[in-house]
Amino acid sequence: MAEQNTRQDTLEYAQRLGDDAVVLGHRLSEWCSNAPFLEEDLALANTALDFIGRARMYYGYAAELADDGRDEDDFAYLRDQRDYRNLLLHELPRGDFAFTQARQYFIDVYNQLFLEELRQSADERLAAIAAKAVKESRYHLRRSRDWMLRLGDGTEESHRRTQTAVDNLWGYTHELFELDPLEQRLVDAGVAVDVAALRDPWREQVGTLLDEATLRQPADDWAVRGGREGYHTENLGHLLTEMQALHRAYPGCSW
């Protein structure tokens, strides 16, 4: 019985991690052909692909655990926004280039810490996905960190835009470090990452970088949460509408 429950929890957990990855991957892909210059266009598109690839691995695993005939596409394309459980930070509109890079930096620092822990998971499949993804996150972080320095300690305008982005994102970062009962059960079973323990190292790393980039760390005077329960900002519905339109209009289409 306990084993059956852990299986159900793990399915939900894999789906959550897939949701985080596919939503951010989609946001990044929106830059394709719109980035400030060619190299950056390629970098954003390649990073988007890494996240979409992760989503496929997480969803593929969720589909195996569900064992009810669904496949990865069903998870990505046939669930509505209330069924999506991504953390809200991932779904916010791409904003300007500073906003995209600041969000990416926050998530890259988080992912590096998170995936290092997930590599130790008692669940072998999640551990294998993490071992693969963490290597890519190291490259993502190197790039987004570099951009934070260049933009924060850059021109007056790049500084202003980056500070605005950091201020507007900050209230969405608290949710990254909160555990609900399901994740707590999985932490106890050795499967999930205890994200509450990542808060201090994340803050230390981010705080040091913000200093170096001449940016101010915002006050903790507001927080938005709800993603893991399926309560989203209005932005997710628009994103899913675009992302799912083709698959819903032509089910199973491929080319």
Partner 1 sequence: MVAAARSRPTDTAWRLRLARREASGLPEIWALLDRLTDPEIPAVSLWDLGILRDLAWRDGRLIVTITPTYCGCPAMSEIEADIRATLEQAGYGPVEIETELKPAWSTDELSPEAREALRGYGIAPPCIGSALTEKPQCPRCGSGQTHPLAEFGSTACKALWQCDECHEAFDYFKPI
Is residue 129 close enough to count as binding partner 1 by CB under 8 A? Answer: yes
Minimum separation from the CB atom of position 40 to partner 1 (A): 8
Is 243 a binding residue for partner 1 by CB under 8 A? The answer is: no
**Minimum CB distance to partner 1, residue 27 (Å):** 14
* H-type alpha helices, 30-175: 38-66, 72-77, 97-118, 124-152, 156-170
Could you tell me the smallest distance in angstroms from the CB atom of residue 28 to partner 1? 11
Single-letter amino acid, residue 113: L
The footprint of partner 1 on this chain (CB under 8 A) covers a number of residues equal to: 31
Sign of CA dihedral 42, 119, 178, 52: positive
Distances 180 to 9, 41, 79, 112, 141 between C-alpha atoms, Å: 12, 37, 21, 21, 27
Q: What is the dihedral of CA 6, 192, 71, 104, to 10 degrees?
A: 160
**String of contacts with partner 1 for each residue 192-231, x by CB under 8 A:** ----------------------------------------
Map residues 133-172 to x or -, x wherever contact with partner 1 holds by CB under 8 A: x-xx-xx--xx--x--------------------------
Specify whether the CB–CB gap between 61 and 206 falls below 8 A.
no
Residue 90 in the binding site for partner 1 (CB under 8 A): no
Identified binder of partner 1 from the candidate list 127, 179, 189, 243, rule CB under 8 A: 127
35 binds partner 1 (CB under 8 A): no
The nearer residue to partner 1, 29 or 233, going by C-beta atoms, is 29
Sign of CA dihedral 63, 66, 70, 73: negative
* Residue 249 neighbours by CB distance under 10 Å: 8
Residues that bind partner 1 (CB under 8 A): 25, 39-40, 42-43, 46-54, 56-57, 124-125, 127-129, 131-133, 135-136, 138-139, 142-143, 146
